[in-house]
Amino acid sequence: MLHRRQPRHAPSKLDSRSVRLGASASLAAILLSVFALTLTDRGMAMLGRVVGFLEFYGGVLALVSLTATVALGLLTTERVFLSPPNRVRAQFAHRATAFAGMAFLLTHISLMISLNHVPLAAAVVPVAGLYVGFGTIAFDMMVVVAVTGMLRGRFAVTGRPWLWRFMHASAYLSWPIAILHGLTAGRFAASWVSWSYMACLAAVGSALLIRVLATLLRPALTPEWVDAPEVSDMPVAVPEGINAPVSLAEARRKYREAG
Protein backbone atom coordinates (compact mmCIF):
# COMPACT_ATOMS: atom_id res chain seq x y z
CA MET A 1 0.00 0.00 0.00
CA LEU A 2 1.08 3.54 -0.68
CA HIS A 3 2.04 5.64 2.27
CA ARG A 4 1.83 9.37 2.43
CA ARG A 5 5.36 10.63 2.29
CA GLN A 6 4.26 13.96 3.65
CA PRO A 7 1.96 14.41 6.61
CA ARG A 8 -1.34 15.88 5.53
CA HIS A 9 -0.80 19.33 6.96
CA ALA A 10 2.83 19.86 6.10
CA PRO A 11 3.20 21.87 2.93
CA SER A 12 4.59 19.55 0.29
CA LYS A 13 6.56 22.27 -1.40
CA LEU A 14 10.03 23.10 -0.22
CA ASP A 15 9.76 25.77 2.40
CA SER A 16 11.05 28.65 0.30
CA ARG A 17 11.73 30.72 3.40
CA SER A 18 14.21 28.26 4.87
CA VAL A 19 15.78 27.63 1.46
CA ARG A 20 16.34 31.36 1.02
CA LEU A 21 17.72 31.61 4.53
CA GLY A 22 20.03 28.64 4.02
CA ALA A 23 21.29 29.90 0.66
CA SER A 24 22.04 33.39 1.90
CA ALA A 25 23.63 32.01 5.07
CA SER A 26 25.99 29.73 3.14
CA LEU A 27 26.85 32.51 0.69
CA ALA A 28 27.58 34.83 3.59
CA ALA A 29 29.70 32.10 5.23
CA ILE A 30 31.78 31.66 2.07
CA LEU A 31 32.27 35.39 1.61
CA LEU A 32 33.16 35.85 5.26
CA SER A 33 35.67 33.00 5.25
CA VAL A 34 37.31 34.41 2.10
CA PHE A 35 37.43 37.78 3.81
CA ALA A 36 38.89 36.20 6.93
CA LEU A 37 41.55 34.44 4.85
CA THR A 38 42.68 37.76 3.40
CA LEU A 39 43.48 39.00 6.89
CA THR A 40 46.54 36.77 7.35
CA ASP A 41 49.54 36.24 5.09
CA ARG A 42 49.11 32.48 5.08
CA GLY A 43 45.48 32.94 4.22
CA MET A 44 46.40 35.21 1.34
CA ALA A 45 48.84 32.60 0.09
CA MET A 46 46.20 29.88 0.29
CA LEU A 47 43.71 32.05 -1.53
CA GLY A 48 46.29 32.77 -4.19
CA ARG A 49 46.92 29.06 -4.69
CA VAL A 50 43.15 28.40 -5.04
CA VAL A 51 42.76 31.21 -7.56
CA GLY A 52 45.84 29.98 -9.43
CA PHE A 53 44.42 26.46 -9.59
CA LEU A 54 41.07 27.64 -10.88
CA GLU A 55 42.75 29.95 -13.39
CA PHE A 56 44.75 27.01 -14.67
CA TYR A 57 42.17 24.21 -14.53
CA GLY A 58 38.70 25.89 -14.38
CA GLY A 59 38.28 25.80 -18.14
CA VAL A 60 39.50 22.21 -18.37
CA LEU A 61 37.09 21.08 -15.67
CA ALA A 62 34.24 22.90 -17.41
CA LEU A 63 35.07 21.27 -20.73
CA VAL A 64 35.32 17.80 -19.20
CA SER A 65 31.97 18.11 -17.36
CA LEU A 66 30.22 19.53 -20.41
CA THR A 67 31.62 16.72 -22.54
CA ALA A 68 30.14 14.26 -20.09
CA THR A 69 26.88 16.23 -20.21
CA VAL A 70 26.63 16.03 -23.99
CA ALA A 71 27.41 12.31 -23.96
CA LEU A 72 24.86 11.60 -21.22
CA GLY A 73 22.24 13.71 -22.97
CA LEU A 74 22.68 11.73 -26.15
CA LEU A 75 22.65 8.48 -24.23
CA THR A 76 19.40 9.25 -22.46
CA THR A 77 17.40 10.19 -25.56
CA GLU A 78 17.99 6.93 -27.40
CA ARG A 79 16.30 3.79 -26.24
CA VAL A 80 18.83 1.48 -27.84
CA PHE A 81 21.58 2.13 -25.30
CA LEU A 82 19.84 2.00 -21.93
CA SER A 83 16.79 0.54 -20.17
CA PRO A 84 14.12 3.01 -18.97
CA PRO A 85 15.34 3.02 -15.32
CA ASN A 86 18.89 3.70 -16.48
CA ARG A 87 17.66 6.38 -18.83
CA VAL A 88 16.08 8.14 -15.86
CA ARG A 89 19.36 7.83 -13.97
CA ALA A 90 21.24 9.12 -16.98
CA GLN A 91 18.94 12.15 -17.07
CA PHE A 92 19.73 12.91 -13.45
CA ALA A 93 23.44 12.54 -14.14
CA HIS A 94 23.04 14.74 -17.24
CA ARG A 95 21.57 17.48 -15.08
CA ALA A 96 24.21 17.12 -12.38
CA THR A 97 27.14 17.32 -14.80
CA ALA A 98 25.46 20.20 -16.62
CA PHE A 99 25.16 22.08 -13.35
CA ALA A 100 28.78 21.43 -12.43
CA GLY A 101 29.96 22.31 -15.94
CA MET A 102 28.10 25.62 -15.96
CA ALA A 103 29.47 26.44 -12.50
CA PHE A 104 33.06 25.77 -13.65
CA LEU A 105 32.41 27.70 -16.86
CA LEU A 106 31.17 30.76 -14.97
CA THR A 107 34.17 30.56 -12.62
CA HIS A 108 36.49 30.25 -15.59
CA ILE A 109 34.99 33.25 -17.38
CA SER A 110 34.82 35.51 -14.33
CA LEU A 111 38.42 34.64 -13.38
CA MET A 112 39.70 35.30 -16.90
CA ILE A 113 38.00 38.69 -16.87
CA SER A 114 38.93 39.66 -13.33
CA LEU A 115 42.59 38.65 -13.87
CA ASN A 116 42.62 40.90 -16.96
CA HIS A 117 43.42 38.11 -19.40
CA VAL A 118 40.48 39.25 -21.56
CA PRO A 119 38.31 42.38 -21.59
CA LEU A 120 34.86 42.32 -19.99
CA ALA A 121 33.02 42.40 -23.32
CA ALA A 122 34.71 39.14 -24.33
CA ALA A 123 32.24 37.27 -22.11
CA VAL A 124 29.45 37.99 -24.60
CA VAL A 125 30.98 39.23 -27.86
CA PRO A 126 33.99 37.64 -29.56
CA VAL A 127 36.37 40.62 -29.35
CA ALA A 128 39.52 39.03 -27.92
CA GLY A 129 40.91 37.28 -30.95
CA LEU A 130 39.82 34.15 -32.81
CA TYR A 131 40.79 31.49 -30.26
CA VAL A 132 39.16 33.18 -27.25
CA GLY A 133 36.28 34.11 -29.52
CA PHE A 134 35.51 30.41 -30.01
CA GLY A 135 34.97 30.18 -26.29
CA THR A 136 32.71 33.23 -26.28
CA ILE A 137 30.50 31.83 -29.02
CA ALA A 138 30.37 28.44 -27.32
CA PHE A 139 29.40 30.09 -24.03
CA ASP A 140 26.60 32.13 -25.64
CA MET A 141 25.11 29.02 -27.16
CA MET A 142 25.59 27.06 -23.95
CA VAL A 143 23.50 29.68 -22.10
CA VAL A 144 20.64 29.07 -24.53
CA VAL A 145 21.05 25.33 -24.03
CA ALA A 146 21.07 25.64 -20.23
CA VAL A 147 18.00 27.89 -20.16
CA THR A 148 16.00 25.61 -22.44
CA GLY A 149 17.11 22.66 -20.33
CA MET A 150 15.68 24.30 -17.23
CA LEU A 151 12.43 25.27 -18.99
CA ARG A 152 11.87 21.87 -20.57
CA GLY A 153 8.52 21.23 -18.90
CA ARG A 154 7.14 24.51 -20.28
CA PHE A 155 7.74 23.50 -23.87
CA ALA A 156 5.73 20.32 -23.39
CA VAL A 157 2.75 22.44 -22.36
CA THR A 158 2.98 25.13 -25.03
CA GLY A 159 2.81 22.63 -27.84
CA ARG A 160 6.10 23.42 -29.61
CA PRO A 161 8.42 20.60 -28.67
CA TRP A 162 10.33 20.92 -31.96
CA LEU A 163 11.38 24.42 -30.90
CA TRP A 164 12.82 22.99 -27.73
CA ARG A 165 14.66 20.25 -29.59
CA PHE A 166 16.08 22.78 -32.04
CA MET A 167 17.31 25.12 -29.31
CA HIS A 168 18.61 22.42 -27.01
CA ALA A 169 20.37 20.71 -29.90
CA SER A 170 22.60 23.76 -30.38
CA ALA A 171 24.70 22.01 -27.73
CA TYR A 172 25.97 19.77 -30.51
CA LEU A 173 27.35 22.89 -32.19
CA SER A 174 28.51 24.67 -29.06
CA TRP A 175 30.44 21.74 -27.67
CA PRO A 176 32.86 21.16 -30.62
CA ILE A 177 33.52 24.91 -30.71
CA ALA A 178 34.29 24.77 -26.99
CA ILE A 179 36.74 21.92 -27.63
CA LEU A 180 38.32 23.96 -30.38
CA HIS A 181 38.67 26.82 -27.93
CA GLY A 182 40.17 24.50 -25.33
CA LEU A 183 42.75 23.16 -27.74
CA THR A 184 43.75 26.46 -29.32
CA ALA A 185 43.48 29.19 -26.67
CA GLY A 186 45.75 29.31 -23.65
CA ARG A 187 48.58 26.84 -23.08
CA PHE A 188 49.50 24.13 -25.51
CA ALA A 189 47.49 20.97 -24.96
CA ALA A 190 49.27 17.66 -24.41
CA SER A 191 48.79 15.26 -27.26
CA TRP A 192 46.86 12.67 -25.22
CA VAL A 193 44.40 15.40 -24.26
CA SER A 194 43.85 16.31 -27.90
CA TRP A 195 43.46 12.66 -28.81
CA SER A 196 40.89 11.97 -26.12
CA TYR A 197 38.85 15.01 -27.15
CA MET A 198 38.99 13.80 -30.72
CA ALA A 199 37.82 10.38 -29.59
CA CYS A 200 34.89 11.95 -27.71
CA LEU A 201 34.03 14.03 -30.77
CA ALA A 202 34.15 10.99 -32.99
CA ALA A 203 32.02 8.90 -30.62
CA VAL A 204 29.35 11.53 -30.10
CA GLY A 205 29.49 12.51 -33.76
CA SER A 206 28.90 8.97 -34.97
CA ALA A 207 26.15 8.40 -32.41
CA LEU A 208 24.57 11.62 -33.58
CA LEU A 209 24.94 10.59 -37.20
CA ILE A 210 23.28 7.27 -36.50
CA ARG A 211 20.50 9.10 -34.69
CA VAL A 212 19.88 11.51 -37.54
CA LEU A 213 20.11 8.79 -40.17
CA ALA A 214 17.81 6.54 -38.19
CA THR A 215 15.27 9.34 -37.93
CA LEU A 216 15.52 10.11 -41.63
CA LEU A 217 15.51 6.54 -42.85
CA ARG A 218 12.84 5.29 -40.48
CA PRO A 219 9.80 4.33 -42.54
CA ALA A 220 6.71 6.40 -41.87
CA LEU A 221 4.52 5.01 -39.15
CA THR A 222 1.57 3.53 -40.95
CA PRO A 223 -1.25 1.41 -39.68
CA GLU A 224 -1.17 -2.25 -40.39
CA TRP A 225 -3.46 -4.17 -42.75
CA VAL A 226 -4.96 -7.24 -41.22
CA ASP A 227 -5.75 -10.08 -43.64
CA ALA A 228 -9.52 -10.12 -43.61
CA PRO A 229 -11.70 -12.73 -45.40
CA GLU A 230 -11.55 -12.25 -49.13
CA VAL A 231 -14.50 -11.26 -51.28
CA SER A 232 -15.60 -13.90 -53.84
CA ASP A 233 -18.56 -14.52 -56.13
CA MET A 234 -18.82 -18.27 -55.64
CA PRO A 235 -22.36 -19.68 -55.55
CA VAL A 236 -23.88 -20.51 -52.23
CA ALA A 237 -22.99 -24.04 -51.24
CA VAL A 238 -24.24 -24.91 -47.83
CA PRO A 239 -22.83 -28.27 -46.67
CA GLU A 240 -25.50 -30.70 -45.69
CA GLY A 241 -26.66 -30.54 -42.14
CA ILE A 242 -25.03 -27.25 -41.20
CA ASN A 243 -28.23 -25.26 -40.81
CA ALA A 244 -30.48 -28.23 -40.13
CA PRO A 245 -32.53 -28.16 -36.96
CA VAL A 246 -30.65 -29.76 -34.15
CA SER A 247 -31.99 -33.12 -33.18
CA LEU A 248 -30.86 -34.66 -29.95
CA ALA A 249 -31.08 -38.19 -31.30
CA GLU A 250 -28.95 -37.38 -34.32
CA ALA A 251 -26.35 -35.68 -32.17
CA ARG A 252 -26.16 -38.78 -29.96
CA ARG A 253 -25.78 -41.01 -33.00
CA LYS A 254 -22.95 -38.85 -34.36
CA TYR A 255 -21.26 -38.94 -30.97
CA ARG A 256 -21.55 -42.69 -30.85
CA GLU A 257 -20.14 -43.06 -34.38
CA ALA A 258 -17.20 -40.84 -33.52
CA GLY A 259 -16.42 -43.16 -30.61
Partner 1 sequence: MIPHSVPRVLRMGPARLTAGLDHTRRLDLPAHRTLHGDQVPRSLDDIIALVEEVDMRGRGGAAFPFARKLRAVADAARGGECVVLVNGAEGEPASSKDAMLLVRNPHLVLDGAVLAAEALNAREVVLATVEGEVAKSSIEAAVAERRAANVAGAAESRINIRVVGLQEKFISGEGGALVRAVNGLEAVPPGRKRRASTSGVDGLPTLLSNTETFTQLAVLAELGAEEYAKVGTSREPGTTLLSVSGGAANPAVVEVPTGTPLINVLEMCEAEIGDGVLIGGYHGAWLDAETAISAIISREGMKRAGGSLGAGIIVPLGESTCSLGEAARVAAYLAAQSSGQCGPCRLGLPDVARALTALVDGSGSTDSIRRSVRAVERRGACFHPDGTAKFVLSTLDAFESDIALHQEHGSCGRPVRGILPLPEREDEPEYRLEVDWTRCQGHGLCAHLLPEFVSLDDYGFPSFKTVPGWMVKEASRAVDMCPALALRLAQAT
* Smallest separation, CB 217 to partner 1 (Å): 17
| Binding test (CB under 8 A) with partner 1, winner from 20, 49, 152, 253 | 152
Nearer to partner 1 by Cβ, of 87 and 117: the residue is: 87
Site track 49-78 with partner 1 (rule: CB under 8 A), x = hit = ---------------------------xx-
Residue 87: CB minimum distance to partner 1, A:
6
Cβ-based nearer residue to partner 1, 11 or 219? 11
- Examine residue 218 and tell whether it contacts partner 1 (CB under 8 A): no
Q: How far apart are CA 94 and CA 154, in angstroms?
A: 19
Only segment of 5-13, 41-49, 98-106, 122-130 that touches partner 1 (CB under 8 A): 5-13
Residue 155 lies near partner 1 (rule: CB under 8 A): yes
DSSP the chain: ----SS-TTS-SS--HHHHHHHHHHHHHHHHHHHHHHTTSHHHHHHHHHHHHHHHHHHHHHHHHHHHHHHHHHHHHH-TTTS-HHHHHHHHHHHHHHHHHHHHHHHHHHHHHHHTTSS-GGGGTS--SHHHHHHHHHHHHHHHHHHHHHHTHHHHHHHT-HHHHHHHHTTHHHHHHHHHHHHHHSSSPPPHHHHHHHHHHHHHHHHHHHHHHHHHHHSPP--PPPP-PPPP--PPP-PPTTSSSPP-HHHHHHHHHHH-
Closest to partner 1 by CB, 152 vs 253, is 152
Instruction: Give the span between the Cα atoms of 222 and 225, in whole angstroms.
Output: 9
Using rule CB under 8 A, residue 219 touches partner 1: no
Which of 39, 80, 116, 153: binder of partner 1 (CB under 8 A)? 153
Task: Restricting to residues 75-134, name those near partner 1 by CB under 8 A.
Answer: 76-77, 79, 84-85, 87-88, 91
* Closest distance to partner 1 from the beta carbon of 18 (Å): 10
Of the candidates 99, 131, 164, 172, which one interacts with partner 1 according to CB under 8 A?
164
- In contact, 155 and 161? CB cutoff 8 Å: yes
Binding site for partner 1 (CB under 8 A): 2, 4-13, 76-77, 79, 84-85, 87-88, 91, 152-153, 155-157, 159, 161, 164
